[in-house]
Amino acid sequence: MKESKYYIAAGYEQMDIHTMEQFPSKQFYQRLRGGFLKVSWRKLVCNNLGLPKWIFMLRLVAHGKLYTRDKLSKWGVICNVMCPLCDKESESHSCLFFLCEMSAQIWQRLLQWQGITRRPKDWDAEIRWLTNYAKGKIAKAELYRIVLAAAAYTIWKERNMRVFQDKKQQLDVMIKLVMQEMFFRGNLRTKVARWLTNFNFYPV
């Protein structure tokens, strides 16, 4: 029985497996996947030392996929669009990250804790700044990426607690918990653990 030949379509080319000395799996995968532009925030999410739930939330925030009240109102699900964190503006992605009064305070104090003094901006502006600042494998960049993920998770968790449970946490308590989590996660990597010795473990 004559042996059949197996071909793999790769773009516009066909590769005969029987005549190949090596199988270029990387090239084959890239051709099947196609070309896509890399998002600017990919390095903030990939290889982030934060908790998995933080990373998951950070990815949702980066994609703008959270069900904020402005979206729910457009779909006719709710009528109240006020931000549950500040009760002053319409809740939107930009408001929560990081323009509303409360989220801006959380982010600014976490920046100051790392020795960074500047006013918080909206999410897109923050990502542009973070992409330049938090690149590379140095300890302060790794810590910065962890703090960003923790801040996004903490803000959304507090928002949901206020909406669904009618409960509130004090600002100082939230920030303190985030900073303590930073030490726990950072100690998993030696260079980050050494860098964390410069920071206050139990701020008041």
**Which residues are within 8 A (CB) of 51 and not within 5 positions of it... i.e. 6 or more apart?**
149, 150, 153, 181, 185
Confidence at residue 61, expressed as pLDDT on a 0 to 100 scale: 94
For the whole prediction, is pTM greater than 0.85?
no
For 65-97, what is each residue's pLDDT tens digit?
999 999 999 999 999 999 999 998 999 999 999
Query: How many C-beta atoms surround the C-beta of residue 191 within 10 A?
Result: 14
Q: How many CB atoms lie within 10 A of CB 153?
A: 22
pLDDT digits (tens, 9 = 90+) for 5-46: 444 444 445 555 566 667 677 777 777 777 777 777 887 888
The CA radius of gyration of the chain, in Å to the nearest whole number, is 22
